[in-house]
Structure 1
Amino acid sequence: MGFDVIIRGGRWFDGTGAPSAIRTLGIKDGKVAAVSAADLPAEGARVVDASGKWVMPGFIDIHTHYDVEALAAPGLGESVRHGVTTVVFGSCSLGTVHVEPLDAADLFSRVEAVPREHVLSILGRHRDTWGSAAEYIAALEDRPLGPNVTAFLGHSDLRAAVMGLGRSTDAKAAPTGAELRRMELLLVDALRAGMIGMSEMRNPWDKLDGDRYRSRTLPSTFGTRAERRRLYRILRSSGRVLQSIPNLNLPVSLIPALLASIGRGGTKPLKTSYLTAADVKANPFLMHIMGPLARAVNRLGGDFRWQHLPVPFQVFADGIDLVVFEEFGAGAAALHLKDEVERNALLQDEAYRRRFRREYENRWTPRVWHRDLYDAHIVDCPDASAVGRTFGQVGDERGVHPVDAFLDLVVEHGPKVRWHTTISNHRPQALNHLSSLPEVQMGFSDAGAHLRNMAFYNFPLRLLRRAHHEGFMTIERAVHRLTGELGSWYGLDAGFLREGDRADLVIVDPDHLGPELDQAQEAPVEAFGGLRRMVNRNDATVVATFVAGTRIFGAGEYAPELGRRRTGRFLRAGEPRGTVDPRTLPGPAAIVG
C-alpha cells in the first residue's frame, strides 16, 4: 500500500487511554491506514520524523464561541496552532442558525465581548445563505474550514427567532402553543441535520447589547418550565446533549436541574454538560461538592458532567469593560451605559460610589469574581505610577477606598487602564483534583469570545504539561480526557487515532511543555478590523497539526492550505467511524473561498 503521509517513530497515543507505544503511522486518503511497530514504505509519501515526540489525536474543544469567526476566518488558526482539530460552538444558548444579524449582534456582543460592528457586518454578508439548520451546516462547509466543527442549537437563538427578540426577553410574554410547537420542530430539524444537542442559559448575569432591549437578560433565561420540559423530551429521546449554566443568583435552582438529568420510568437520562467545575476564589468550598453532586445524580440514573478549564482562570480587562461586573447591580449599571460621558458621570456620582462600595464589600451575595481589588494588578495605564500595583495599593497610596481608586482611574483613563486578576483554579493541588474527577470534562476555553480578556487556546497543552511534570495522572489518561472521552460522550467521530480513524492528529514535543505555555500575548484579528486579541504563542510545542491527513500547522507557521482549502468538516452526531468528506482531500475541487 502506498501512503500519502508517514509519521515515523513517535510515541503514539490512540485516545482510548490504552498504553502508548513507539509506532509509525501511515496515512492514506485522510485516514490512518496503518499503525506499525516496524517501518513503513515511504515511497511517494511525505515523511514526518516524530522521534522523541508524542503523536496523539487532535484535541477537542467542547466550549467555544466561534459562531461568527468561523464565517469570516474559517481557518480558526488560534486553535489549530495548539493542536485543536475539533471545535464546538453554539454554546451558552447563543447561535446564528435562526436569528437575523441585528438580533445576533444584540445577543453576542455584550455577553461574549465580540465587536458588535463585526457581528453585524459578517452576518450581513453570509446570513442570507441559509434558512434552516441543514442549510446552516452546508454554509459552514462552503467555507474553507481548518479544523472540524460541530454545534449546539442555542435556546436563545431558537426562542428569539420564534417569538421575536422583544417578546422572548419579556417576563410577561409566554410562548403560545404554536410557538412551542415551532421550537420543537426546529430543534428536531437541527438534531436530524446532525447538531449535537441544545445549549441553554439560566444565569441572569448575561445581558443583551444594542439599543432596543439593552440590559435585558438572554432569551433562554425566560424559558418556561413547560417549554424546557418539551425541548428536553426531544433531547432525551434522541440521546443528544443539553449544555447548561446554573442561575448563580439562586444556587438552589441547581437541584431540579440536576434531577432533570435522571431518566425515570424507562425514559433515557438527559445527557447534561454544566458550567463549570472550578476552584473559585470567592467560594473555596464549592469545588468540594461538585464531584459528589454529580456522582449522586449519575448513580440515580443520570448522565451528568461538569465542564472544567484545567488551567488558572486569569482574566484581563480594559477599564470597567469586563463581564464580571454584571454580577452586581452597580457594575451592571455602568455597563448599561454605552456613552463614555454618561458613564463617567455615573462613576463620579457619590451616591453611586456608595452603592458600588456596599455591593463590593457584601460577602454574602452569590459571585464568581472575588471582588478583591488588592488582587487586581494594573499592567498598563497612562499614569505610570499605577503600573505594577494593585488598585488596593493605589488606594492606600492616595488615602482612598480601593473602589474609589479603581473608579478614579477609569474616569481619568477609561479603557487605557489595563489590569488582570485570577478568578479561579489558582491552587495547583485543587486544580489537579478537579482535573482528575471522572464527573468533569476538559473544556470551556471560550475560544473566539472575550478577545481582549483571556487566552485559553492552549489549555490541552497545559494539562499535558502538568500530567508530564507532576505525574498526577498518566499521559495516556490526560490524552484520553482531551480527546476520545469527549468524542465518545458527545457522539462524535473524533478523538481517536487508530487504524480506520480519520487522520486528525497533533504531534507534540514534550521537551517544550514548559512555562512558556502560561504566557499570553496580543495579535491582530484581521476579520475583526485588526482588533488586538489575547493569544497564546508556544510554537515549539506543537510540531504539527493534521486534519483529515493534511498538515495545516507546523514549525510555527500555518500551511498554505489553511483558510484557502477546506480540510475540516461539520461533524454530525452519530456518524460512522472514520468518516472522511472527499472534498477535504487535496485536489482542485477542494479549493473554496
Structure 2
Amino acid sequence: MAQWDLLFSGATVFDGEGTPGRVEDVAVNSGVIVARGLNLPHDAAKKVIDAKGKWLLPGMLDIHTHLDLEVEVAPALDEVVRHGTTTVLVGNCSLGTCFGAQESEGQEPIVDCFTRVENIPKAVLRTCAKKMTWDNPEDYLAHFDTLNLGPNIAAFVPHSMLRIEVMGLEASISRAPTEVELQKMEAILEGAMKLGYLGLSTDGLPFHYLSNDPHTEKRIPTQFASFNELRRLLKVVRKYDRVWQTTPIIENHLKALFYFTLTSGRLFGKPLKTSALSAMEMTAAPKSAKLFLGVAKLLNSKLLDGRLHFQALGTNFRVWSDGIVSPLFEELSSTAELIALEYDDYEGRQRLMWNVEWVARFRKEWRHGRTGDDFASWKARRGLPDSLVIREPEKLIFDGAPCADWDGESFAQVMSRAQLFKSGDRSCARSDSEREAFDKIDIELRDDADFVLHMLRTYDKSFRFYADVANAENRSTLAFLLHENTLPGFNDSGAHITNMAFFDSNLMSLKLAKEQGEDVVAKVVKRLTKDPADIFGLDAGSLVLGARADMVLINPDALDNWQSDETRELVYRDIFEHEQMVNRPDGIVDTVYIAGEMVWDGVHGATDVLGKKPLGKYLRSADADVICEQTEAAA
C-alpha cells in the first residue's frame, strides 16, 4: 500500500538552506515533506514524478506586492503562482485592506489611496472594494478561510489606513492625532501583532498623492505623521519583533537618515527589523544604491545595532507609460496635475495642456537638469539629479505608438525625422502613416519638451512608451541581490497594472545566478525562500522534513536564452475588465505545488484545483499563536 502521495525522483534539490544542490528524491504525504534521500522506493508512492535534470526548490516568496485587491476577486492569484511564487505579502507602502472598504460620508479611502500610488484604475478598485465585508483586522484574517486561496498570504498593518480608521480621511491629512487617537492606533496595532500581522508599513515618497477631489494635491495619510507618532507605533512593532516596511523620505536625505535610526537597538532598547525600498542601479543616479547600503552598514553596525535591509529587484526596472499616466511622472508637478484629473477627463487634460502657464511650467520641469548650463545640469551629470524621472528622448522608447513604424524607436529618433519633415524635407517620412503623423504637428519642435507636448495633446493616453529606470541590462542586479544588507523584493506585483510586470523577478534572479554557477544558485534560492521567511517570521521557504510541501520544479536549461523584456506583454484580464501588464515566460517553470497539490503545469497552465479549493492559507508571523494562547489563558 502506498505511503506517500508524491515522490520526486532524481531532482537537483536546492532546499533553501544555502547548501549546494544535490540529486535526491523527495517524498510528500498529506501536504507535508516526509522523506528525502537517494533511491527512495517508487512503489511507496501513489505518483512518481521524474525530475531528472530539473531543480526542485521551495516555493518562493514575493515580499512586496499589492495583491490586496486582486486576491478578493481572483484568490487563485495565478499570475504569481505561475512563476513559482507560493507566498505573498500584502499591506505594503501604508496601503491595504485589513480595515475593509472604510467608506463613510461619501469618502472612498481604497480608491483615494490606491489609484495614483499604485496606478490602479478606479473602476477596478471599486469592483474589488465591493467584495469587502469586514471592518477590522481580526475579521480580515478570518475571511481568508472563506477563499479558495492559491498562494499563502501574510499582511502588514498599513499606516495610512490605520490613520483613516482612527481619525477619518479628512483629519488624517489635515491635523495631528490627539493623544486619545494615538493611543487607539497603538491599541489596534498591538491587537494586530497578537493576531500575527507582519508589522507596520509606512511610506515617504513625495509623489504619492490622493486621487479624489478635493484632495488631489494632498499626499497619502502616512506622510502627515510626525516622528513621535512613528516612534510610538514602531515601539509596538519592536515589542513583538516584527517588521517595519517603509519607503525613504527621498526629498530630504538627512530626515530619511534620522527616521532610519528607528531601527537601532542601541538608541531604542531593542533592534527593529526594517525592510526599506530599494537597492537598484538607478539610470539617473547610479550611485544612489551605494549610499543606501552605506546607511544600512552604519545602522547595522555594532555601534547602533540595527536590522535594516533594502529590497533589491531581481530584474531590470522597465516602466511603461500610457501617455503621461505612469508612476514616474507623478514626480513633476506639471505632469502630476495631468494625472490627477479623472482617467476619462480628456477635455480637462486638453484645457490644461493649452494653458500658457502650465506649458511654461511643463517645459521648465521637462528640461530641468538637462540644459547643460546650470547647477542642476552639473549635478545630473554626476549622478546626483534633482529628479529621477527619465526625460532624455534617447531613453524613451515607443511601444504602442500611433504610427507602427515608431515602435522600438526612441523619441529622439522619431523627433529627428519630424524636425527634418517640418523643415521641408518631406522625403524623410518612411511611410504614408508617418507622413500623416508628421502632418499633425502644428507647433515648432524646438526640443524634446515640444515633441512630448505635441504627443500628449494629439494622442492623449493612446500611445505607449517605456524607459529602463533602473537595473538596465542587469549589470549590477545580482550583486545587489546577494548583498548582506539587501533582500530580494520590490516586485510590486498587482500594482501599476498597465505600467510594469515584475512577477518574474524571482525567475530572473535564478537566471542571473545560474550564469555564475550552482553555488550561486544555492545562495540565491536561499535569498528567495528561507531568508525572507526567517526575517518575516513565516513558516515557509524550506524543504526540511515536516515542512509544508510548497515547491516549484524548474527547467534550468530554459533560463539560458530567456530575456524577460521579451515576455512582458499587455493583456486583457476579465477579472478586472481591464488590461494589465504581465510576464509569462514559457518552459521555465515545470510545475508548482502548494500544500502538496499541483497547481500549475508549465504546459497546460492552471490545474483543476487552483482557485477551486483552498490551498494556501493566511500565515501568522512567528509566535503569534503562542501569544494568542497566552492572552486567552490570561483572560
Output the TM-score relative to the length of structure 1: 0.93
Q: Does 1:375 align with 2:423?
A: no
Partner Cα distance (2:624, 2:228) in 1 = 35
Q: State the match for 2:504 in structure 1.
A: 458
Indicate the larger mover: 373-382 or 568-577: 568-577
Name the amino acid aligned to 2:550: D
Could you give the per-residue CA deviations for residues 191-250 of structure 1, whole angstroms, max 9, x where no partner exists?
111111010011221011122422310000001222111101101111000001111221
Partner Cα distance (2:449, 2:560) in 1 = 37
Q: Does 1:330 align with 2:334?
A: yes
Q: State the match for 1:585 in structure 2.
A: none
TM alignment of 1:423-572, pairs within 5 A: 423-471=469-517, 474-518=520-564, 519-529=567-577, 531-556=578-603, 557-572=605-620
| SS class of match (1:479) | helix
Change (3 A) 1:343 1:373: same
Q: Does 1:313 align with 2:317?
A: yes
Q: State the match for 1:395 in structure 2.
A: 415
Q: Does 1:109 align with 2:108?
A: no
| SS class of match (2:575) | helix
Indicate the larger mover: 358-367 or 199-208: 358-367
Mapped contact 2:102–2:135 kept (Cα < 8 A): no
Q: State the match for 2:363 in structure 1.
A: 357
Q: Does 1:146 align with 2:150?
A: yes
Query: Percent identical across equivalent pairs?
Result: 32
**Which of 294, 297, 300 in structure 2 is aligned with 1:295?**
297
Offset at residue 375 of structure 1 (A): 0.6
Q: State the match for 1:239 in structure 2.
A: 241
Indicate the larger mover: 505-514 or 379-388: 379-388
Partner Cα distance (1:415, 1:501) in 2 = 48
Q: State the match for 1:127 in structure 2.
A: 132
Mapped contact 1:517–1:536 kept (Cα < 8 A): no
Partner Cα distance (1:104, 1:380) in 2 = 30
Indicate the larger mover: 335-344 or 562-571: 335-344
Mapped contact 1:458–1:517 kept (Cα < 8 A): no
Change (3 A) 1:27 1:327: same
Q: State the match for 1:81 in structure 2.
A: 82
| SS class of match (1:42) | helix
Change (3 A) 1:203 1:11: same
Partner Cα distance (2:62, 2:338) in 1 = 33
Could you give the per-residue CA deviations for residues 132-154 of structure 1, whole angstroms, max 9, x where no partner exists?
21210111221100000101110
Indicate the larger mover: 541-550 or 264-273: 264-273
Partner Cα distance (2:502, 2:111) in 1 = 24
Mapped contact 1:114–1:450 kept (Cα < 8 A): yes
Offset at residue 345 of structure 1 (A): 2.0
Partner Cα distance (1:486, 1:216) in 2 = 34
Mapped contact 2:153–2:616 kept (Cα < 8 A): yes
| SS class of match (1:4) | strand
Mapped contact 2:195–2:624 kept (Cα < 8 A): no
Q: State the match for 1:206 in structure 2.
A: 208
Mapped contact 2:497–2:580 kept (Cα < 8 A): yes
Partner Cα distance (1:554, 1:307) in 2 = 30
Indicate the larger mover: 470-479 or 295-304: 470-479
Mapped contact 2:7–2:45 kept (Cα < 8 A): no
Q: State the match for 2:464 in structure 1.
A: 418
| SS class of match (1:416) | coil
Partner Cα distance (2:519, 2:33) in 1 = 27
Partner Cα distance (1:576, 1:92) in 2 = 23
Mapped contact 1:353–1:404 kept (Cα < 8 A): no
Partner Cα distance (2:388, 2:196) in 1 = 34
Name the amino acid aligned to 1:273: S
Mapped contact 2:98–2:136 kept (Cα < 8 A): yes
Partner Cα distance (2:392, 2:331) in 1 = 14
Name the amino acid aligned to 1:560: D
Gaps of 5+ in 1: 578-593
CA RMSD after TM alignment? 1.8
Could you give the per-residue CA deviations for residues 136-194 of structure 1, whole angstroms, max 9, x where no partner exists?
01112211000001011100010111111111112xx1101111111111111111111
Q: State the match for 1:590 in structure 2.
A: none
Name the amino acid aligned to 2:78: G
Q: State the match for 1:61 in structure 2.
A: 62
Offset at residue 34 of structure 1 (A): 0.4
Mapped contact 2:231–2:262 kept (Cα < 8 A): no
Offset at residue 576 of structure 1 (A): 9.5
| SS class of match (1:488) | helix
Offset at residue 43 of structure 1 (A): 4.4
Partner Cα distance (1:330, 1:430) in 2 = 33
Offset at residue 575 of structure 1 (A): 5.4
Mapped contact 2:280–2:470 kept (Cα < 8 A): yes
Offset at residue 522 of structure 1 (A): 2.6
Q: Does 1:346 align with 2:352?
A: yes
TM alignment of 1:152-231, pairs within 5 A: 152-170=156-174, 173-231=175-233
Q: State the match for 2:434 in structure 1.
A: none
Give 4+ residue runs of structure 1 displaced > 4 Å after superposition.
none
Count of residue pairs the alignment pairs up = 572
Partner Cα distance (2:232, 2:393) in 1 = 45
Indicate the larger mover: 274-283 or 111-120: 111-120
Mapped contact 2:20–2:518 kept (Cα < 8 A): no
Q: State the match for 1:591 in structure 2.
A: none
| SS class of match (1:32) | strand
Mapped contact 1:308–1:441 kept (Cα < 8 A): yes
Could you give the per-residue CA deviations for residues 307-337 of structure 1, whole angstroms, max 9, x where no partner exists?
1102110011110101111112112121122
Q: State the match for 1:584 in structure 2.
A: none
Partner Cα distance (1:539, 1:378) in 2 = 25
Output the TM-score relative to the length of structure 2: 0.87
Mapped contact 1:2–1:43 kept (Cα < 8 A): yes
Structure with bigger gyration radius: 2
Name the amino acid aligned to 1:447: S
Name the amino acid aligned to 2:340: H
Change (3 A) 1:138 1:526: same
Mapped contact 2:283–2:470 kept (Cα < 8 A): yes
Offset at residue 366 of structure 1 (A): 3.4
Gaps of 5+ in 2: 370-375, 377-384, 420-444, 626-635
